[in-house]
A and B are shown apart, each in its own frame.
Chain A
Amino acid sequence: MGSVSYVSLSKATALERSMNMTAHNLANSSTSGYKSMKPLLETVDSPSQGENVSFVNDSGSYLDMSKGTLLPTGNPLDLAIAGEGWFSFQLVQGGTGYGRHGQLAVDAEGQVRTSAGHTLLDAGGGPIVLPAEAGSNVSIASDGTIVDEGGAVLGIVGVFDIPGGADMTPLGGGTYALPPDTPVPEPSEVPGIMQGFVETSNVQAVVEMTRLIDIQRAYENAITLMNEDDKLTRSAVERLGPSR
């Protein structure tokens, strides 16, 4: 049997995963701090009977690290990072995650959290607690220093440098985990925090919509190839089979 239909199958399977990823990106086109995901396809050579047959394999996914645009909201606890750094969060499920999602709120104890409940950490890795008198009535400087109306320093928002970053694992809730065996990130020297702004999702709608069309046509292509191969085999059976 020829390997045509299996090559087509590998293409269809890879395309289906790309489709899921594109749907996920489009669903998150309004999620602040979201980094869009791209599929990574690779060739798998499988020489058989002197032919060079190459299958396609979706070997992984990576993050598009481009920045979203900064959208002014005027909310004092909306933070965006103008530079390259990442916020650090104590995750609800335990452990530390990083993210550029900065739609924050204080809880009843005054701890600064995301709406998913992850706690924002300061430069030293501790939680940030705002006293009851201040509430959300604070100003946050570009280096992350939080001061109340009287000018007293309440804490410093931690911003960390993560070189590369495209290989981070998404954890949901706008947070990402570092790959294993990565050294602990250093605090950024130029945090560039902007108060009253949120970073929009970096999903490029046009690109994703084009990919939708592309995936659909390529999928049809793969299926047509399968059907053509089937036709060829059938006609071979008909012609070469025992004569009536």
Chain B
Amino acid sequence: MKALGIAATGMLAQQTNVDVIANNIANANTTGFKSGRAAFQDLIYQNVRSAGTLTSEEGTARPVGTDIGLGVQASGVIRHNTQGGLVQTENQLDLAIDGRGYFVVNRPDGTQAYTRAGTFQLSAEGQMVAINGFDIEPAIVVPELTRQVEINQFGVVMAYVENETEPTELGQLTLATFVNDAGLKPIGDNLLEATTASGEAVEATPGSPGIGVTRQGYLENSNVNIIQQITDLISAQRAYEMSSKAIETADQIMTTTNQIK
């Protein structure tokens, strides 16, 4: 009785589905979060009889074969890289990316990570850092006694120091883009890591052709569509129940088999 195992793959796949949906809902208010969707694929088939086998010497052939499918598996979680809504925060170091690209963050171990969460702060030395304290690449140091920081849509950071009327240019932010955004690996803390699937980071300044622009005083909301997640959750639960019914039926069939004298 393969049905037990087949139905179990169905329940496992729906469990993964619910896990992904739960993570999406939990991150509905996470800045720069991109919702994921579990993709399923049917497993291999056991070929009991092949189509096209000759059924007579006159060349007539079996029109259909018997293929028993062995269930389903979650083949991956596809991250949806659509733009999240921009919310105004009026915090001068909050940055949102409107379009493609990721901010580049230097991790303490020397490697780089990528993020769309632009909740930047200043370190004790005045350097712009991500909310977990990691430096932004390129390094931008805001001088002491700065009245105001201005960041334009091309990522150029300018500071008005003391009573000066002309701003001082501190540097220009860069954004990284990837051939396959969906291939980036999420590592938590709003950070993503480059993988062989995503390809190498291509760095460019904001506002270049095909690259997003930076918006000061805004943050990018998550792109989680709560209504869709809830409806997906309902259908996942029902699909889970249906597979469990198949297990129940297979069990009852085996009970019946045991009643043969």
Residues of A whose CB lies within 8 Å of any CB of B are: 12, 15-17, 19-32, 34, 37, 40, 58-62, 73-77, 101, 103, 105-110, 114-116, 130, 132-137, 148-150, 166-167, 169-174, 179-181, 205, 208-209, 212-213, 215-216, 219-220, 223, 226-227, 230
Contact = CB atoms under 8 A, between A and B. Distances in A.
20 contacts: A16-B3, A19-B250, A23-B250, A24-B42, A27-B246, A28-B71, A29-B239, A30-B13, A30-B239, A75-B80, A105-B76, A108-B180, A110-B199, A132-B202, A135-B179, A167-B64, A171-B44, A172-B42, A212-B245, A219-B256
Interface in B1-58: 1-4, 6-7, 9-10, 13-14, 17, 37, 39-45, 47-52
Given A74-B82, A116-B41, 12 more contacts: A19-B3, A25-B69, A30-B14, A37-B69, A109-B199, A110-B179, A115-B78, A132-B199, A133-B209, A137-B210, A149-B210, A216-B252
Most buried by A among B47, B49, B67, B235: B67
Given A135-B179, A181-B52, A212 B246 contact: yes
Contacts, number: 236
A226 B259 CA distance: 10
Contacts of A166: 64
A19 B41 contact: no
Contacts of B82: 74-76
A169 B259 contact: no
Contacts of B182: 77, 105-106, 136
A107 B44 CA distance: 23
A22 B3 contact: yes
Contacts of A75: 37, 78, 80, 82
Contacts of B199: 108-110, 132
Given A28-B42, A105-B183, A115-B78, A134 B210 contact: yes
B210 A170 contact: no
B71 to A, nearest CB: 5
A107 B197 contact: yes
A167 B66 CA distance: 10
Contact of B259 (A16, A133, A223): A223
Question: Which of B45, B235, B242, B250 has the largest number of chain A CB atoms within 10 A?
Answer: B242
B197 A108 contact: yes
A168 to B, nearest CB: 9
A49 B24 CA distance: 68
A115 B51 contact: no
B42 A173 contact: yes
A13 to B, nearest CB: 11
A2 to B, nearest CB: 15
Contacts of A25: 69
B178 interface: yes
A150 B180 CA distance: 19
Interface residues of B, number: 75
A24 B7 CA distance: 7
Given A28-B10, A74-B82, A75-B80, A58 B45 contact: no
B75 interface: yes
A136 B78 CA distance: 12
Given A26-B10, A27-B9, A181-B52, A59 B66 contact: yes
B47 to A, nearest CB: 8
B249 interface: yes
Interface string B224-259: 010000000001101100110110011011001101
Given A27-B6, A37-B67, A174-B42, A130 B249 contact: no
A202 to B, nearest CB: 12
Contacts of B242: 26, 29, 205, 208-209
A132 B3 contact: no
A108 B68 contact: no
Nearest to A166: B64
A61 B67 contact: yes
A216 B42 contact: no
B79 to A, nearest CB: 9
Contacts of B252: 216
A31 B41 contact: yes
A130 B225 CA distance: 28
B71 A212 contact: no
A130 to B, nearest CB: 7
A213 B17 CA distance: 27
